[in-house]
């Protein structure tokens, strides 16, 4: 059996504990340096650069005329996907849509702040957004579902998906099915840093957008950071990460089963089992070979790399309180609470983007359509932001309206503060100068 990383927090120093907080994308300097010429090539060469990078990076047979998915490709996709997969996509999209419809803010609200003075908010869709759907380590129609549905619910008028092409120049058929069912019919075949550059600057084929959302590799994250002054990079969603918190009420084999869920995404993922029960930790270690025996060779390789590396394994704590502290310090993308009484632990967790409760709610169910969004902030960004939502696809405008009757009181206080802060024009705008114009 591979030598799974085992960390006994009572036996390690502060520096070693701090190292457990690192993710694969913590230091992006190398990716950012290499992404600069890719971005510049797309900016200056457009489609020609995308075709070249598709050949060099994706080994894809593609020319400029095929960068955009055709209606015929969409139509053909439905014949290529098994009916049970289509049914699962429809089931997930239905739940995701219901959840995000409940989440959608009302178009406008106004409240009377003082008699005759009103203030509120108005929400309007962002005009153009691109959804990034990764492809490098598999096919992810679920990401299409999670990004497209809230964007459609929000009413974004210009929506497109970018996703890396396969070697034959195609797009994953289930991704096309999910996009059409969700309501998105524009898909471009490009990925990585070059895709972010394409939608930031636009090319002959690809329309530029105001915002890009969706998870991606360190190349995608690096490009988003570099282009943050050109396009809104959305929430920071990088390689997958998860913590499985298990108390002593569950079997460690169940914890090991769920530990592998996010670990199998790729060698750049992060995954920890955190428990204060040595029994659970030992049962988990003993169960891993049986679980690996049921997985494909590629996914075994990915998850083994994670669980034997610096960003994964088993963390044994001295107490459940220490488990809480570790999780809140880590601020995971996915947190699963494996306990027969998960709500006993929930109140102690303040830093996690997604919290899935109990032995019947594995990350798999969250990823594939329980309803809440599974595009989540990574690299400790859960400390300041949450899951992708309808509000990521709308912008808020403040609304104010003061009647003639309410104006004098507001003007008097505004004059006082304007004078104090030294803004003479502010002061004059609510003085007797204004009154002369208002009486006409």
10: closest CA among 288, 278, 283, 350?
Answer: 278
The whole-angstrom distance between residue 366's C-alpha and the CA centroid of its chain comes to 13
Residue pointed to by tokens 């943050």: 228
Say which of 262, 264, 333, 427 is annotated catalytic: 333
Gyration radius (Cα) of the chain, Å:
25
Contacts of 13 (CB under 8 A, 6+ apart): none
Alpha helices in 294-372 (DSSP H): 297-307, 320-330, 343-346, 363-367
Characterize the bridge pairing of strands 270-275 and 312-316.
parallel
| Cβ 92 vs Cβ 145: under 8 Å | yes
Query: Any catalytic annotation for residue 334?
Result: yes
311: closest CA among 25, 8, 24?
Answer: 24
Query: Helix, strand, or coil here: 354?
Result: strand
| Cβ 149 vs Cβ 141: under 8 Å | no
Say which of 100, 276, 334, 345 is annotated catalytic: 334
| Cβ 159 vs Cβ 186: under 8 Å | yes
CA torsion, ordered 420, 430, 407, 401, to nearest 10 deg: -100
Please tell me the distance from the alpha carbon of residue 178 to that of residue 152, in angstroms, as a whole number: 13
Query: Helix, strand, or coil here: 382?
Result: helix
150: closest CA among 159, 137, 141?
Answer: 159
| Cβ 135 vs Cβ 104: under 8 Å | no
Structure tokens at 184: 């998105």
Query: Any catalytic annotation for residue 413?
Result: no
2: closest CA among 292, 318, 223?
Answer: 292
The whole-angstrom distance between residue 385's C-alpha and the CA centroid of its chain comes to 10
Residues facing 313 on adjacent strands: 272
Query: Helix, strand, or coil here: 116?
Result: coil
Please give the positions annotated as active site.
333-334
């Amino acid at each position: 059996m591979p030598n799974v990383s085992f960390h006994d927090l009572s036996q390690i120093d502060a520096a070693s504990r701090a190292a457990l907080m690192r993710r694969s994308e913590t230091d992006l300097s190398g990716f950012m340096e290499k992404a600069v010429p890719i971005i510049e090539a797309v900016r200056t060469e457009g489609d020609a650069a995308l075709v070249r990078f598709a050949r060099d990076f994706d080994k894809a047979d593609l020319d400029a005329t095929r960068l955009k998915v055709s209606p015929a490709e969409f139509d053909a996709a439905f014949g290529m996907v098994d009916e049970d997969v289509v049914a699962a996509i429809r089931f997930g999209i239905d739940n995701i849509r219901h959840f995000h419809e409940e989440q959608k803010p009302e178009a406008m609200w106004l409240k009377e702040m003082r008699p005759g003075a009103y203030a509120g908010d108005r929400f309007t869709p962002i005009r153009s957004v691109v959804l990034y759907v990764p492809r490098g380590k598999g096919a992810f129609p679920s990401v299409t579902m999670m990004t497209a549905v809230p964007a459609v619910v929000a009413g974004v008028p210009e929506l497109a998906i970018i996703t890396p092409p396969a070697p034959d120049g195609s797009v994953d058929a289930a991704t096309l099915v999910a996009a059409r069912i969700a309501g998105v019919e524009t898909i471009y075949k490009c990925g990585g840093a070059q895709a972010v550059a394409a939608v930031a600057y636009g090319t002959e084929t690809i329309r530029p957008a105001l915002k890009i959302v969706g998870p991606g590799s360190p190349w995608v994250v690096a490009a988003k950071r570099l282009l943050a002054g050109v396009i809104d990079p959305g929430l920071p969603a990088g390689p997958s990460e998860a913590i499985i918190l298990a108390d002593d009420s569950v079997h460690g084999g169940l914890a090991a089963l769920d530990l592998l869920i996010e670990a199998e995404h790729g060698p750049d993922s992060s995954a920890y089992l955190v428990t204060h029960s040595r029994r659970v930790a030992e049962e988990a270690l003993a169960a891993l070979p049986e679980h690996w025996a049921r997985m494909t060779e590629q996914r075994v390789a990915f998850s083994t790399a994670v669980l034997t590396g610096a960003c994964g394994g088993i963390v044994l704590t001295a107490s459940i309180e220490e488990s809480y502290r570790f999780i809140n310090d880590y601020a995971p993308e996915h947190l699963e609470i494996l306990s027969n009484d998960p709500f006993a632990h929930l109140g102690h967790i303040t830093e996690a983007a997604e919290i899935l409760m109990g032995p019947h709610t594995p990350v798999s169910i969250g990823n594939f359509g329980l309803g809440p969004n599974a595009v989540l902030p990574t690299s400790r960004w859960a400390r300041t932001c949450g899951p992708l939502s309808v509000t990521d696809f709308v912008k808020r405008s403040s609304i104010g309206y003061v009647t003639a009757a309410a104006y004098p009181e507001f003007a008097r206080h505004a004059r006082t503060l304007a004078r104090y802060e030294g803004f003479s024009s502010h002061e004059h705008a609510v003085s007797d100068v204004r009154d002369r114009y208002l009486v006409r």
